[in-house]
């Protein structure tokens, strides 16, 4: 379930995502790229096992941009609040090159330090979901004042790509922004961790995923492919599998989506 942030931090937080559920045993989950980064508050101490690593029960995790997808196993009850950040927000808040976080999912203490413990305790004690959201609004607003201002050029580029659902070509984007490809690429890599072309591809795929879930079998894959400006259905299926590891049909019929880009197998 999604909740909007306070208007005071809407330039940093895209939305909050509340996930709850229970598993009888260890289950494989998949997170695929959606163009955003985020903070995961693991309030029930769910066991999280990343590929090749032991099970961990850290109360708070950070994740960077994903170039495709990442699998991990979860065990126990899920009681998560995910702070979904705008693509540039992690760099804005912590001034770290976004490429350092790319394809990484790691304990938040490694970046934020012991301050994480206090906010996790507060969230666990909060009586309602809205109380938790209000607490996060205040917490993020408190430390957002130390961050850099968003580059207006980068913000405009992101807005135009999102508005076109990823269909806007890089050439057209450069013409509209009146900037060189080299400059825009450098800004994207530093701040977002992806090139403009990579980010556009992820946005386009996620727009297609929304249509797959919304229409189920009411609209053909070919129609969705053409609407998203793919050359043909085969191109759409190949691109979708590159980012998610599964076909559009499998996404519609064989997995359990806890969120648009978070699947349980």
Reading the block at residue 10, the tokens are 């809407």
Higher model confidence: residue 165 or residue 96? 165
**Mean pLDDT over residues 146-157, rounded?**
83
Reported as a pLDDT band with limits 50, 70 and 90, residue 54 is confident
Do the beta carbons of residue 81 and residue 123 sit within 8 Å? yes
- pLDDT confidence of residue 231: 84
Reported as a pLDDT band with limits 50, 70 and 90, residue 126 is very high
Reported as a pLDDT band with limits 50, 70 and 90, residue 87 is very high
Higher model confidence: residue 31 or residue 218? 31
Reported as a pLDDT band with limits 50, 70 and 90, residue 147 is low
Portion of the chain with pLDDT greater than 70, in percent? 98
Reported as a pLDDT band with limits 50, 70 and 90, residue 24 is confident
The mean pLDDT of the chain is 91
Distance CA 63, CA 10 (A): 19
- Quick one: 133 exposed, middle or buried, by C-beta within 10 A (0-12, 13-18, 19+)? buried
Do the beta carbons of residue 247 and residue 221 sit within 8 Å? no
- pLDDT confidence of residue 178: 95
**Mean pLDDT over residues 3-31, rounded?**
91
Q: What residue has token string 């937080």?
A: 13
Q: What's the whole-model pTM score?
A: 0.92
Reported as a pLDDT band with limits 50, 70 and 90, residue 88 is very high
| pLDDT above 70 (res 16) | yes
Length reported for the chain: 265
| pLDDT above 90 (res 220) | no
- pLDDT confidence of residue 222: 86
Q: E strands, 6-140, where? A: 13-22, 27-32, 37-42, 47-50, 60-63, 69-75, 77-85, 105-107
Three-state SS at 179: coil
Q: What residue has token string 């043909």?
A: 232
Over residues 180-214, the pLDDT tens digits come to 999 999 999 999 999 999 999 999 999 999 999 88
Domain extents in the chain: 2-144
Distance CA 17, CA 26 (A): 22
Q: What residue has token string 């961790």?
A: 193
CATH of span 2-144? 2.60.120
């Amino acid at each position: 379930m999604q909740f909007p942030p306070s208007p005071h931090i809407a330039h940093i937080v895209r939305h909050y995502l509340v996930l709850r559920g229970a598993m009888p045993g260890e289950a494989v989950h998949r997170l695929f790229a959606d163009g955003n980064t985020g903070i995961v508050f693991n309030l029930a101490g769910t066991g999280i096992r990343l590929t090749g690593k032991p099970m961990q029960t850290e109360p708070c995790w950070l994740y960077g941009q994903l170039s495709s997808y990442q699998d991990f196993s979860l065990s126990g009850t899920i009681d998560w609040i995910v702070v979904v950040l705008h693509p540039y927000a992690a760099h804005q808040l912590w001034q770290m090159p976004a490429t350092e976080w790319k394809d990484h999912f790691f304990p938040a203490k490694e970046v934020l330090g012991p301050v994480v413990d206090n906010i996790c305790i507060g969230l666990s004690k909060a009586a309602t979901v809205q109380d938790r959201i209000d607490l996060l609004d205040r917490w993020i607003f408190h430390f957002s004042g130390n961050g850099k201002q968003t580059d207006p050029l980068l913000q405009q580029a992101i807005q135009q790509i999102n508005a076109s659902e990823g269909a806007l070509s890089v050439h057209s984007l450069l013409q509209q922004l009146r900037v060189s490809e080299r400059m825009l690429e450098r800004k994207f890599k530093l701040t977002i961790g992806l090139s403009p072309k990579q980010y556009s591809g992820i946005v386009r795929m996620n727009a297609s995923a929304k249509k797959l879930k919304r229409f189920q079998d009411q609209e053909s894959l070919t129609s969705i492919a053409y609407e998203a400006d793919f050359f043909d259905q085969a191109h759409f299926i190949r691109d979708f599998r590159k980012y998610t590891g599964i076909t559009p049909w499998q996404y519609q019929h064989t997995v359990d989506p806890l969120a648009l880009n978070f699947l349980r197998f």
